[in-house]
A and B are shown apart, each in its own frame.
Chain A
């Protein structure tokens, strides 16, 4: 067609004006199935680029090939929500000269919108696009090869990056409508064999638990919600990943039916669980920044009341119109919670990075009621500790901590403690939970941290919350 933006990846890179030292960006909607980051960075390495800064919405196990590109000087800076697998391990051991900058999803959206995080060239994978760049996380054509649903984390990049390259595995006739990314924001369109493996979206952090302890935790979390005072007609809810918080939805559903209560919306990473409640009429609307499984991705394609939102619209702390500000209840998981209610979801108790901030900071801060669900111990690793290894979500935004040994309520929310006590729930002091953990496992030795900063944790307002040091073997 006239004005076609269709080019090869190499031509797209040349046309973008990318130079050494510039910032490139990616989204992670294919999670463990992503193929775009490795494909593009391999090509950039082949073309001889050096000293590039990689601004991803998140990175996971599948991005281990970046290790070689870091060693070869192709990538010299990373910002992301999380790191997992071999790349996380290598970075924790001091692979990079520059520390990795960790931001929440809302924090990244805000940083891009404000210009604090400047993106020179965005490479955005899409499951369908036309020759002018109208792009989507799903395809309505019969040649559809992939589906990731919402492109929420890619939308700030599409809007604010100086140059946008859409990469798709299904080129469809103009106009690709309705679209997520508008052709008005796109400079080049590249067709590849595959942008991602949709079957791997739900892998990793998101799992459906049959673990009896997770089910116990889920039931307790559901009781907290039901008796919190926020469980009334028109309430809104978000669940994080993690077996227990996903399982809690099942018990909340039962009580919604019993009491004839309906939710106005569910927010966030949308899962099949939430789609089911929505389709049953128990949840009015779904606000979706990231589709956590194929069911959710199909739903956003087919259901007009399942709305895609950008990371800014989802969880920006700077934009009061963001959806987290309207959120009543959020259930989140944690690697560690400390006696000040501070939460760590990023660095393992061995000091190695193994997680992601995600929307944790954002939803905990803005919601009316934030509930952390975690077991007291995972094997010998304590989850309730005197002090978190790394501070991710400040305790002042955490209201309730649910464990199998009791429920702790932040002293700043006495009215919630009263309501839960009146409902007969086992309310305990969080210091007693930490003491219980250490009575079982003993006193852990200090971690062998070195003196090199490998990661910087940003708060969603752009301030520095904590630093992550290297681990010495």
Chain B
């Protein structure tokens, strides 16, 4: 796994950086952390586990993204980081 990024810092988006790690470690900065931080972390973790990724370091900077956006950005970053294209199948 190499380090890879997906997403932007625009309002309504999330920028996700994925790199090598031991276990899943998610650092989140979010404009809606107080109300949604727990949910956002859960979506990131579930998305990665769904892709079979159990060891990664994730830095996420969230600007109020919805769950669908978070899943898309995490998936894109994971594909770029692992080189394994999940959309081809």
Contacts and interface: CB of A to CB of B under 8 A. Distances in A.
Given A379-B11, A379-B12, A442-B39, A350 B34 contact: yes
A380 B37 CA distance: 11
Nearest to A380: B64
A448 B35 CA distance: 9
A448 B67 CA distance: 23
A441 B34 contact: no
A348 to B, nearest CB: 10
B31 A379 contact: yes
A379 B39 contact: no
A444 interface: yes
A179 interface: no
Contact of B36 (A351, A378, A441, A448): A441
What band does the interface of chain B fall in when counting residues whose beta carbon is under 8 Å from A?
10 to 19
B63 interface: yes
A445 B42 CA distance: 13
A380 B31 CA distance: 9
B32 A350 contact: yes
Contacts of A378: 64
A397 B65 CA distance: 33
B8 to A, nearest CB: 13
A440 B65 CA distance: 11
Contacts of B63: 379
Contacts of A350: 32, 34-35
A38 interface: no
A447 interface: yes
A445 B35 contact: yes
A16 interface: no
What band does the interface of chain A fall in when counting residues whose beta carbon is under 8 Å from B?
10 to 19
A67 interface: no
A442 B32 CA distance: 13
A379 B38 contact: no
A18 interface: no
Contacts, number: 41
A340 interface: no
A447 B34 contact: yes
A445 B38 contact: yes
B35 A444 contact: yes
B62 to A, nearest CB: 8
Looking at A349, A441, A447, which has the most chain B CB atoms within 10 Å of its CB? A441
A420 B66 CA distance: 32
A448 B66 CA distance: 22
Nearest to B31: A379
Interface in B17-64: 31-32, 34-39, 63-64
A436 to B, nearest CB: 13
Contacts of B67: 441-442
A112 interface: no
Contacts of B32: 349-350, 379-381
Contact of A445 (B34, B64, B65, B66): B34
Interface in A428-463: 440-442, 444-445, 447-448
Contacts of B39: 442, 445
Contacts of A444: 35-36
B17 to A, nearest CB: 20
Contact of B66 (A349, A351, A441, A447): A441
A171 B36 CA distance: 55
A379 B30 CA distance: 12
A379 B35 contact: no
Contacts of B11: 379
A176 B37 CA distance: 58
Looking at B12, B35, B64, B65, which has the most chain A CB atoms within 10 Å of its CB? B35
A380 B65 contact: yes
Looking at B36, B39, B65, B67, which has the most chain A CB atoms within 10 Å of its CB? B36
A354 to B, nearest CB: 12
Contacts of B34: 350-351, 445, 447-448
A385 to B, nearest CB: 11
A471 B11 CA distance: 23
Nearest to B13: A379
Nearest to A442: B39
Interface string A358-396: 000000000000000000001111000000000000000
Contacts of A379: 11-12, 31-32, 63-65
Contacts of A381: 32, 35, 64
A349 B35 contact: yes
A447 B34 CA distance: 6
A351 B38 CA distance: 17
24 contacts: A349-B32, A349-B35, A350-B32, A350-B35, A378-B64, A379-B12, A379-B31, A379-B63, A379-B64, A380-B32, A380-B64, A380-B65, A381-B32, A381-B64, A442-B36, A442-B39, A442-B67, A444-B35, A444-B36, A445-B34, A445-B36, A445-B38, A447-B34, A448-B34
- Give 5 closest A-B pairs by Cβ, nearest first: A379-B64, A444-B35, A380-B64, A379-B12, A380-B32
Interface of A: 349-351, 378-381, 440-442, 444-445, 447-448
